[in-house]
Amino acid sequence: MSKFIENQNWRYATKKFDATKKISNEDLNILKEAIRLSSSSYGLQPYKVIIVESPELRAKIQPAAWGQSQIVEASHLIIFANETQLDEQHIDDYISNISETRNIPVDSLAGYSDFMKSKILTLPEDSKNIWTAKQTYLALGNLLNAAAELKIDVTPMEGFVPEQVNEILGLEKLGLNTSLIATLGYRHEEDATQHYKKVRKSQDELFITL
């Protein structure tokens, strides 16, 4: 933990990436694994993570992301897309995964399966979609922290039009919706933002101990 706080102070939402610098496959795999191992309610992970490598697709996405230059300049573009058609099959598949991974009978997980279905599938559709979208923020948090450890810059983005990004990537037919965008790479030396002091509330202002 000695470097963790230092790295958190180092990271910031990069405004200008160096388009000549690319993340290595080795580091990209570490970041993918950090996302995969992220916490998630019930462990269900009701989302997909899309890595957009195509320059043509990224150029199409840029106008839908308020014209932000990071979309095309960053080494990698990641789309966090929440499931919009979460149903019994998703939960059954997850239960099967638990059974295989832990080498335990599926029948022994029936209670857990029924509990999840009673809590998740009974939600109104809009509430369910809000819930699945929230799960992507947990995955983003792991990405931010892991990237900072590797001295890789990440810009998390909510500034985009989901419907337009969905259409460009054909996500609606897959039962997915763009919840978050993250651009990854290395800060450009001309990005003045990197020299700004981090502004956050003090501990006294932020925390309440009861």
Q: Is residue 101 part of a domain?
A: no
Q: Is residue 188 part of a domain?
A: yes
pLDDT, tens digit (0-9, with 9 covering 90-100), for 1-40? 679 999 999 999 999 999 999 999 999 999 999 999 999 9
pLDDT, tens digit (0-9, with 9 covering 90-100), for 147-193? 999 999 999 999 999 999 999 999 999 999 999 999 999 999 999 99
- The string of DSSP codes covering 73-93 is HSSEEEEEEEESS--HHHHHH
Distance CA 83, CA 128 (A): 9
How many distinct structural domains can be found in the chain? 1
pLDDT, tens digit (0-9, with 9 covering 90-100), for 132-159? 999 999 999 999 999 999 999 999 999 9
Distance CA 128, CA 140 (A): 19
H or E element at residue 8: helix 4-10
Q: Is residue 103 part of a domain?
A: no
Distance CA 10, CA 123 (A): 40
Q: Is residue 109 part of a domain?
A: no
State residue 2's pLDDT score.
74
pLDDT, tens digit (0-9, with 9 covering 90-100), for 33-86? 999 999 999 999 999 999 999 999 999 999 999 999 999 999 999 999 999 999
For residue 189, give its domain range.
Answer: 4-86+121-206
Strands (DSSP E) found in the chain: 47-52, 76-83, 153-157, 176-185
Q: Is residue 93 part of a domain?
A: no
In this structure, what CATH number is given to the domain that contains residue 184? 3.40.109.10
Q: Is residue 192 part of a domain?
A: yes
